[in-house]
Amino acid sequence: MSILYITYMGLSEPLLYSQGLAYLEGLSQKGFKITILSFEKKEAFDNKGEAISKMRARLEAQGIRWKILRYHKRPYFFSTFFDITRGTLYALYLKSRGDLDLIHARGTVPAVIAYLLHHFCGMKFLFDVRGLMAEEYVDGGMWKRGGLLYRMASHGERLFLRRSDGAIFLSHRIVGILQNSQPKLYRDHRAIQVIPSCVDLSRFSIPKEKDVELQKKFGLQNRFVFIYIGSLGTWYLLDEMLDFFKEATTVIPNAFFLILTQSRVESFSDRLKERDIRQGDAVVSFCLPREIPRHLSLADAGLFFIRPCFSKLSSCPTKFGEYLASGLPVVINASIGDTDTVVEKEGIGVVLKEFHRQEYRQAALRLTGLIKEEGVRLRQRCREVAEKHFSLQMGIDRYGVLYQALLRKDKGN
């Protein structure tokens, strides 16, 4: 089966590496013929395109073809329309050069291209939803609900959900919402999979001991370490996480908060001062993706608070699976995809229902009680949950099942 995988996010970006390329490499090993069409930002071509050359060599060694188009950012809206036009024409060119059984569109913009080829050329169309773009842009403050861009994106997503041959979602919760919506937002696909943000479990493990070098770097000897990894701003609630940490120090006097990010953090010292948190008790540090497993060995619990809104019901933060794969119990807020359901069902941490002082203190108490009661068994259970729900191999297998279902459907079986 020959697959054209279209992504508007470049392969050079860390998120797509773990939540796109890793799956495709596994699917190629299963015998699927993969062609990737990606839109790369100009930064990817720096240093004479050295990063692109290395990536191309890696993909070619695995039998994966990689076709590149330039990503355009300006002028706003028209640049995206231009990229869609170029992507559609190039996809038509690829089809004319050989058989393509299926277009796998990662996200809403690639889905426009896939839908056009599906409608005019009869090609199979798999909509990898990831998130509902229209709702995300409204919840993130970029668009106004009811505005032209929102209405265009929302209409497009509804159309793609109804007309695609198969669909992939990140959470069971959003599937239930869409199934019960009136009017119904998508027809009853025979080919639907829920594939959360999976983790290469071989990169993460329960540490036998903490990394001594990093302990010295951050001054973490004899400290209980809360850790946060990933972006800050927009969805990720740094102020609320600091409020929780402040209250947690009244329960865990030796607590430390380690924040690992590639985002710029404005006025961090002022935020600590406002909450009367000592400068030595919370640190923001830059961390490359490849260094995350090593840093997670320092932690006793993983933390993330994300703005609860409709669009986040369809999400699955990658950091969730990474925490669990490292044996870390978690402190999270409710209504983020299926994460709260998993935590409460499996007993691997604490879920906050609200953001306020009393809830923070109760969460810290429940966490310490859980750790004291179960100790090593808790860490082992976190790892087992990662293997059960977030294994990269599980994700690859589910993609493969979906591809095969669409192939059988195409043959009329």
343-390 per-position pLDDT tens digit? 999 999 999 999 999 999 999 999 999 999 999 999 999 999 999 999
- Pairing of β 330-333 and β 301-304: parallel
What whole-number distance in Å separates Cα of residue 360 and Cα of residue 352? 8
Q: What is the tens place of the pLDDT at every residue in 289-304?
A: 899 999 999 999 999 9
Helix (H) or strand (E) holding 283: strand 282-286
Strands 224-229 and 301-304: parallel
Q: Do the beta carbons of residue 295 and residue 287 sit within 8 Å?
A: yes
- Position 201, amino acid: L
- Which of 287, 305, 320, 297 lies closest to 220, judged by CA? 297
Is the torsion defined by CA of 173, 175, 178, 181 positive or negative?
negative
pLDDT over 90 at 138, yes or no:
yes
Task: Kindly report which listed range (9-13, 126-130, 330-334) carries the lowest average pLDDT score.
Answer: 9-13
User: Over 60: is that where the pLDDT of 53 sits?
Assistant: yes
Note the pLDDT tens digit of each residue in 93-109: 999 988 899 999 999 99
Judged against a pLDDT cut of 80, whether residue 402 lies above it is answered with yes
pLDDT above 90: residue 311: yes
Q: Percent of the chain having pLDDT more than 70?
A: 97
User: Tokens standing for 149?
Assistant: 């861009």
pLDDT greater than 90 at residue 16? no
Cis ω on the peptide bond leading into residue 75 (within 30° of 0)?
yes
Whether residue 228 contacts residue 318, with contact meaning beta carbons closer than 8 Å, is answered with no
DSSP 20: I
Percent of the chain scoring above 90 in pLDDT:
80
Q: How far is CA 240 from CA 22, 155, 284, 344, in A?
A: 33, 34, 15, 21
Encode pLDDT of 165-189 as tens digits: 999 999 999 999 988 876 666 555 5
In this prediction, residue 179 carries a pLDDT of 84
Distance, in Å, from the CA atom of 318 to the CA atom of 316, rounded to the nearest integer, reads 6
> pLDDT tens for residues 313-340?
999 999 999 999 999 999 999 999 999 9
**Alpha carbons 49 and 58: distance in angstroms, whole number:** 14
The pLDDT score that the predictor gives to residue 412 is 53
What sign has the CA pseudo-torsion 392, 394, 398, 401? positive
Given this model, what pLDDT does residue 203 score? 95
pLDDT at 265 over 60: yes
Question: 289 Cβ partners below 8 Å, 6+ apart?
Answer: 14, 17, 18
* Per-residue pLDDT at 47 exceeds 90: no
pLDDT, residue 110, reads 97
Three-state DSSP state, 15: helix
- For the sheet with 166-169, list strands across it: 65-70, 33-40, 2-7, 102-106, 124-128, 166-169, 192-194
> CA 173 to CA 354: how far, in whole Å?
20
Determine how many CB atoms are found less than 10 A away from the CB of residue 213.
8
Q: What is the mean pLDDT of the chain?
A: 93
Going by pLDDT thresholds of 50, 70 and 90, the confidence category of residue 234 is confident
Rg of the chain over Cα atoms, rounded to whole angstroms, equals 22
**Is the predicted pLDDT of residue 17 greater than 90, yes or no?**
no
Q: What span, in angstroms and rounded, lies between the C-alpha atoms of 218 and 210?
A: 12
- Gap between the Cα atoms of 26 and 392, Å rounded: 9
Distances (CA, A) of 365 to 226, 233, 323, 335, 362: 14, 27, 20, 22, 5
Beta bridge partners, 306, equal 236
Give the dihedral sign, CA 153/157/159/165. Answer: positive
Q: Is the pLDDT of residue 411 over 60?
A: no
Q: Which of 200, 184, 140 is nearest to 321 (CA)?
A: 200
Q: Yes or no: say if 277 and 242 are a contact pair by the CB < 8 Å rule.
A: yes
